[in-house]
Structure 1
Amino acid sequence: MSIPKKRRNRYNPASEDFHKEEFPFYWLARVYGRYAMAMEKLLKRIDLDIPRWRVLNILFENDDSSISEISEHAVAKLSTITKIVYRMKDDGLVETSQSTQDGRVTQVSLTAAGRQAFFDMHELTDELFQKSFQGLTEAQLRKLNQVLANIFANLPEH
C-alpha cells in the first residue's frame, strides 16, 4: 500500500508542509554519516579507509572484477575507482591484469595481503556492525534491504 500523493507532501522538500525529520534521505544521510565516521576511525587503525573497504568487499565476493564492474557495485565514478584500485595496487592489496576477452578492460583481483586485509577489517568492524543493528530482527533487516533496494531502483543511474 503506497502513501497517497497528497500525504507525501510532508516528506517532500519542495512542499510547504515539509519537515526534515520526516524526509527519508535526511535519515539515510545521518545514519550513513555516523556509520562512516565510526568506520573511518576503526579502519584507520589498519591503514584502510571506506573506499578501500568497499573495493576489498566487492573483490572478495566476486573474485576478480573489472574496474567498471567495481565502479558499478560501489556506485562511484570510474575515474575515482581507477585511482583507488591503483593506490591499492601500490599498497600490495590488489593486482591488475588485462582481460583475456578485451584488451581495453583491466581486471582486478585480491593479493594474499588483500585477502588478509579483508579478514582484518571485518574482525575490527564486526562489533560496530553488531551494535548498529542491535534490536532488529532478521525479518526487519530483510525488509529494510527491500525498501532500500526499491528506492535505489527508483533513482536515475549516474
Structure 2
Amino acid sequence: MSTPKTTPGKYLPGSDSFDLSAFPPYWVARLNAKYAMEMEKKLKAVNMDVSRWRVAMLLRIHEELSISQIAEEAIAKLPTITKIVYRMQDEGIVTVKPSTTDGRVSIVSLTDKGHSNIQEVNETTQKLFKRLFNGVSDTQIQRLNATLQQMLNNLMED
C-alpha cells in the first residue's frame, strides 16, 4: 500500500507556494486556543481549570493512572502534571498512592468529590460541546480524528 502524496510547497511554511489557510496546524492552533478560552470561561464557573479538567477526565476514563501515564496521555511535562495532581489531592479531587508493584510509582484516582466535580463540569460544558460539533457529522469527526492521529503519530516518530 502506498503512502498518500501531499502537495509539497503548499504545506511548507518556507515555500513560496505556502498557503496559510491550507495549513492544518494553523487551524488546529486556532481551534485549540478558542476552545481553551471557551472552556476556561465555563470551568471557572465551577471552580475548575482546563489543566485539572484534563487530568480528571483522563482518570474518569481510565479509573487510575500513574502520574507519568497522565503526562504521556496529556502530552505534558511530568513536573507540570505532578504539581497539578498534588494540587488536586490537596483539594480532595484525587487520591495519590504508591503502586502495589513499584513503590516509586504514584497511582492517581478520582475521589467521590472528583467524580462529583466531573459530573458538574460535564453539565456546565454540554452547550459548548454541542456548539462545537454543530453541523459536523460522525463521518467528518471520524475522518478528522484519523487524520489528526496520523499527523500526531508522524511527530512522535524519531
Common fold by TM > 0.5 = yes
Does 2:45 correspond to 1:67? no
| Offset at residue 156 of structure 1 (A) | 2.8
Q: Which residue is equivalent to 2:140?
A: 140
Does 2:20 correspond to 1:3? no
Task: Determine the C-alpha separation between the residues in 1 that align with 2:53 and 2:8.
Answer: 36
Q: Which residue is equivalent to 2:76?
A: 76
The percent identity for this pair of structures is 44
Q: Which residue is equivalent to 2:131?
A: 131
Q: Which residue is equivalent to 2:32?
A: 32
Counting matched residue pairs gives: 156
What amino acid maps onto 1:103 in structure 2? G
| Offset at residue 2 of structure 1 (A) | 2.4
Task: Determine the C-alpha separation between the residues in 2 that align with 1:101 and 1:128.
Answer: 41
Structure 1 residues 136 and 93: alpha-carbon distance in aligned structure 2, compared to 1, 3 A threshold: same
Structure 2 unmatched runs, 5+? none
Give RMSD over aligned pairs: 1.4
| Offset at residue 3 of structure 1 (A) | 3.2
Find the residue that maps to 1:109 and give its secondary structure: strand
Find the residue that maps to 1:155 and give its secondary structure: helix
What amino acid maps onto 1:89 in structure 2? Q
What amino acid maps onto 1:145 in structure 2? N
* Match runs of 1:111-130 below 5 Å: 111-130=111-130
Find the residue that maps to 1:145 and give its secondary structure: helix
Does 2:54 correspond to 1:54? yes
Q: Which residue is equivalent to 1:154?
A: 154
Q: Which residue is equivalent to 1:97?
A: 97
Please give the TM-score of this superposition, normalised by the length of structure 2. Answer: 0.94
What amino acid maps onto 1:117 in structure 2? N
Find the residue that maps to 1:33 and give its secondary structure: helix
Task: Determine the C-alpha separation between the residues in 1 that align with 2:145 and 2:19.
Answer: 24
Please give the TM-score of this superposition, normalised by the length of structure 1. Answer: 0.94
What amino acid maps onto 1:151 in structure 2? M
| Offset at residue 20 of structure 1 (A) | 1.5
| Offset at residue 157 of structure 1 (A) | 6.5
